[in-house]
Structure 1
Amino acid sequence: MKVKYTSLRTCLEDCMEALDLFLNNHFNESLDKLQPRSKESMYHALIYATVLEMQAMMTFQHEDLVSAGNTMKSAQEVCQRFRKRSGSLASRAAGDELTEEELHAEACYAECLLQRAALTFLQDENMVSFIKGGIKVRNSYLIYKELHSFIRSHSSFKGPNHKHLEGGVAFGIGAFNLTLSLFPPRILKVLEFAGFSGDKEYGLSQLYEGATSHNLRSMLCALLLLCYYTFLCFILGNSHTPSLDSCDRTLALLLELPTSLPLSLLQGAIFLFFAGRVEEIKGNVDEAVALFEDGCKAQQAWKQFHHMCYWELMWCFTFKRHWKMAYFYADLLSQESRWSKVMYVYMKAAYLSMLPEGEARPFGEDEVELFRQVPTFKQKIAGKSPPTEKFAIRKARRYRASNPVRLPVPVLEMMYMWNGFSMISKRPELTEGILETLLEAERTLQAAPDNEYTLDDSCLILLLKGLCLKNQGRMQAAEECFNKVYSSEKKLKFDHYLVPNSLLELGLLYVDTGRREQAIKLLQKAKNNYKEYSMESRTQFRIHAALSKLKADTSDQEEITVL
């Protein structure tokens, strides 16, 4: 038994060093350290597959996702060899038959299942793949639940490497609770039927506990927290200030992780990227730009890190209305990244269309020709086109005509889809600049002869104007904008997504102005009365986030009243 303990400890120490290398930009060295033992050690297999999965998440290439999935499947098979063969975890533990190594094997096996499910989830924003892979999710969830119960009920059963086991369970329980809490009701019903439920606050607390206990999964827990605070809160939520204190605290955790290498984590590309994202959320766009640029300089081994920074730099210059600089990063992405050629070419065309007619275009490119190219780059992941690509292709269609009707503010429309108006809410001068652009577009539209797109374009500008006015605290004017869009519902020909989104924004405005009951009615209407519109899943996520917050706030208030 002592030999097993020693072997397990050695494997854990080896994998900790590999993660140190990864955090400090030595990506290939990290893989080289893990790969030789990935067929014999469960932890080497798991961490090797995890690093490859992180790489696949950055490239978002189908072949990389498939390769990472196959590697994770192989890691699962390695972990299976270390598991006890019969009975549930509870029954096996009854006679103290489980060794420490077998407990760790359970946690590693569950993590392989969880990460394989995450890879399928990444390929489909509507989560059809995630639900189809429910057997993996269910098995992983049940193992984590049993491990969690076992650890709590067998407090005296602690091997030499117990903190790593606890960290693995905290990661799994935290990831499940946090992820499932984000799901809209109609998807959650399917998962609940299979015995699933999610508690966001408990999930966050478990991840924070895992991140602070200095174990093998500390980095994964911290990275998942940062992904939640800096991305999911914006893309799938509505928060203007998604726990910025929590962002800063989690960034500090990355700095506090024990490292065995004489390298400064402050120069780690991952840290610099998330630090830049936090500054971007705070509205400190110039500081964010500097950090993203430093992130690009920090390493050259994995260009995918550069692409993540380019994407954020593109939006930073969008917020500042520096259209040519934003175009420059969209152009770099179109040349170097294969994540979504449709999106990159569409954004290139969109930025050029924001320039005055007589102004020279970079590289002599023409926005009309670029818009016409957009559909040719269409891709399918797991047999389906990503919703963002479908949206871009649909918007570019009007440029197929010999005399196309130009899109009024395509950059700002896409900025809304990524919830960028929340990002500029803390910087009055940025909001004022975007509003000026919208007012100019509105004047141009009103001066032009009416066409089949006029009403839709007018409603789009009204929705975006409302967001700017809300950022400025001009609530009544913002409310009027959202209501005008809603009242035009039956007249819209193309952009039907504007109505549920206007109801969503009006509901959020009512929340901010203390009209809770009216807000709930509008959000329920937006949730239930509109189907099959552009980017529907993203809007449904945001509606769910708003209703969940209202429900949580109501529960807190009832608790205070009882006390």
Structure 2
Amino acid sequence: MTTAGAPGALPAGTSVSSLHEALDQCMTALDLFLTNQFSEALSYLKPRTKESMYHSLTYATILEMQAMMTFDPQDILLAGNMMKEAQLLCQRHRKKSSVTDSFSNLVHRPTMDQFTEEEIHAEVCYAECLLQRAALTFLQDENMVSFIKGGIKVRNSYQTYKELDSLVQSSQYFKGENHSHFEGGVKLGVGAFNLTLSMLPTRILRLLEFVGFSGNKDYGLLQLEEGASGHSFRAVLCVMLLLCYHTFLTFVLGTGNVNIEEAEKLLKPYLKRYPKGAIFLFFAGRIEAIKGNVDAAIRRFEECCEAQQHWKQFHHMCYWELMWCFTYKGQWKMAYFYADLLSKENSWSKVG
């Protein structure tokens, strides 16, 4: 059920009494975000960001999405600082390891009974923060120092997800009260890493395997599909990654593994639940364009622009698609109109 307006946030001094409560509140914020109530989602989360790792991570993730669309240095800096705060908060909730524990983990993998439920959630949130901070590091600066810093964060995140995946697969794993959210986080991370690494050129992948990385596309897709089908905080993120893969990456990388039927299947329930959700309208437009239904694609992209006015960057993504749709139709004036809008309003590269 979509949310008509921002629910009443708890007073700033009220502590989040449980992990379950925190996750419920973050799901509410996510619902606001998906109904284009971006500012309301941030306002709802903000009072808890200093005490709840999930509130902090969700808040920072929304800021990062904005930064990745705007490429604005201030947005990138703000998102990076918030994600760093979220990571530090997660660190405080993680299991405290001694030098002996660290050495022991080199020989024996950690088991579930070594963690409280909060600590195990802190691990997956910590890995997610690292991964998102790495993305911002690469986005912020392209020099070698930033590349190395980002690479270290990626490796630490990868190793954490790998250990957590082993933990979930082990016979010692038992399901806590909020296990679906934890497992969803693991599937998101493991799936994203495996899928991304598998798409790299063979030469680069061999080099990365030498330093401990590996990527299996089928396993990555399976993990994301399982994550998308579950009822968890990260289910929609799994869906978005899969939609990006099916509607963009397969074309950009020329893999030839286009599965539009799967994309439609993933999108359908979300488009039904959020009929005016800008994110889902955009993907609906992409699917129609891929199917060759150019007029239907144009309608979807126009709907996406009309659905919200707060994040103009969504409009820019639609303008780009509309430019090509009108080009396919040979309507050059309309194609030029959207190209001109992009040139004037956006900070993307003017070379196209």
> TM-score under structure 2 normalisation?
0.88
- What does 1:404-415 align with in structure 2 at a 5 Å threshold? none
State the SS of the aligned residue for 2:113.
Answer: coil
Q: What does residue 250 of structure 1 align with?
A: 266
Report deviation, 1:171.
0.2
Report deviation, 1:121.
4.2
Q: What does residue 320 of structure 1 align with?
A: 329
| Aligned partner of 1:40 among 48, 51, 55 | 51
C-alpha change, 1:61 and 1:178, in structure 2 (3 Å) is same
- Relative to structure 2, which stretch is displaced further, 31-40 or 166-175? 31-40
Q: What does residue 398 of structure 1 align with?
A: none
Q: What does residue 234 of structure 2 align with?
A: 217
Q: What does residue 234 of structure 1 align with?
A: 251
Distance in structure 1 (CA, Å) of the matches to 2:264 and 2:254: 19
Q: What does residue 76 of structure 1 align with?
A: 87
Distance in structure 2 (CA, Å) of the matches to 1:226 and 1:80: 31
Report deviation, 1:73.
1.2
Report deviation, 1:333.
1.3
Distance in structure 2 (CA, Å) of the matches to 1:125 and 1:243: 33
Structure 2, unpaired ranges of 5+: 1-14
Q: What does residue 451 of structure 1 align with?
A: none
Q: What does residue 7 of structure 2 align with?
A: none
The answer to whether the 8 A contact 2:281-2:304 is kept is yes
Distance in structure 2 (CA, Å) of the matches to 1:199 and 1:126: 29
Distance in structure 2 (CA, Å) of the matches to 1:251 and 1:70: 32
Report deviation, 1:129.
5.4
Distance in structure 2 (CA, Å) of the matches to 1:137 and 1:70: 17
| Aligned partner of 2:277 among 268, 282, 297 | 268
Are 1:50 and 2:61 an aligned pair?
yes
| Aligned partner of 1:283 among 277, 284, 292 | 292
Distance in structure 1 (CA, Å) of the matches to 2:190 and 2:219: 9
Q: What does residue 424 of structure 1 align with?
A: none
Are 1:311 and 2:320 an aligned pair?
yes
Report deviation, 1:271.
0.7
Report deviation, 1:320.
1.6
Report deviation, 1:187.
2.5
C-alpha change, 1:46 and 1:291, in structure 2 (3 Å) is same
The answer to whether the 8 A contact 1:211-1:221 is kept is yes
C-alpha change, 1:249 and 1:137, in structure 2 (3 Å) is same
Q: What does residue 132 of structure 2 align with?
A: 115
- 1:299-340, Cα deviation, whole Å (9 max, x unpaired): 111111111111111111112222211110111112222223
- 1:356-398, Cα deviation, whole Å (9 max, x unpaired): xxxxxxxxxxxxxxxxxxxxxxxxxxxxxxxxxxxxxxxxxxx
State the SS of the aligned residue for 1:267.
Answer: coil
- What does 1:251-400 align with in structure 2 at a 5 Å threshold? 251-255=267-271, 264-340=273-349, 342-343=350-351
C-alpha change, 1:321 and 1:126, in structure 2 (3 Å) is farther
Aligned AA (1:320): K
The answer to whether the 8 A contact 2:111-2:167 is kept is no
C-alpha change, 1:130 and 1:200, in structure 2 (3 Å) is farther
The answer to whether the 8 A contact 1:208-1:222 is kept is yes
- 1:77-123, Cα deviation, whole Å (9 max, x unpaired): 11101001213596684582310000000000000011112223446
| Aligned partner of 1:203 among 208, 220, 224 | 220
Q: What does residue 353 of structure 1 align with?
A: none
Aligned AA (2:27): M
Counting aligned pairs with the same residue, the percent is 64
Distance in structure 2 (CA, Å) of the matches to 1:271 and 1:178: 22
C-alpha change, 1:202 and 1:124, in structure 2 (3 Å) is farther
C-alpha change, 1:94 and 1:330, in structure 2 (3 Å) is closer
Aligned AA (1:60): F
Are 1:160 and 2:169 an aligned pair?
no
The answer to whether the 8 A contact 1:212-1:253 is kept is no
C-alpha change, 1:50 and 1:122, in structure 2 (3 Å) is same
Distance in structure 1 (CA, Å) of the matches to 2:111 and 2:338: 59
Distance in structure 2 (CA, Å) of the matches to 1:158 and 1:48: 27
C-alpha change, 1:299 and 1:39, in structure 2 (3 Å) is same
State the SS of the aligned residue for 1:19.
Answer: helix
- 1:27-74, Cα deviation, whole Å (9 max, x unpaired): 110111111111111000111111111111111223322321221111
Q: What does residue 34 of structure 2 align with?
A: 23
Report deviation, 1:201.
1.1
Are 1:147 and 2:156 an aligned pair?
no
Report deviation, 1:283.
1.1
Report deviation, 1:130.
5.1
The answer to whether the 8 A contact 1:307-1:333 is kept is yes
Aligned AA (1:141): Y
User: Following TM superposition, where does structure 1 have runs of at least 4 consecutive aligned residues deviating by more than 4 angstroms?
Assistant: 88-95, 121-132
Query: Bigger relative contact order, structure 1 or 2, given CA contacts below 8 A and separation 6+?
Result: 2
Q: What does residue 63 of structure 1 align with?
A: 74
Distance in structure 2 (CA, Å) of the matches to 1:5 and 1:304: 33
Distance in structure 1 (CA, Å) of the matches to 2:250 and 2:201: 14
Report deviation, 1:284.
0.8
- What does 1:473-484 align with in structure 2 at a 5 Å threshold? none
State the SS of the aligned residue for 1:266.
Answer: coil
Report deviation, 1:132.
5.1
Distance in structure 2 (CA, Å) of the matches to 1:161 and 1:216: 10
Distance in structure 1 (CA, Å) of the matches to 2:221 and 2:141: 24
Q: Number of residues paired by the alignment?
A: 332
Q: What does residue 3 of structure 2 align with?
A: none
- Relative to structure 2, which stretch is displaced further, 318-327 or 56-65? 56-65
Aligned AA (2:301): F
The answer to whether the 8 A contact 1:138-1:194 is kept is no
State the SS of the aligned residue for 2:18.
Answer: helix
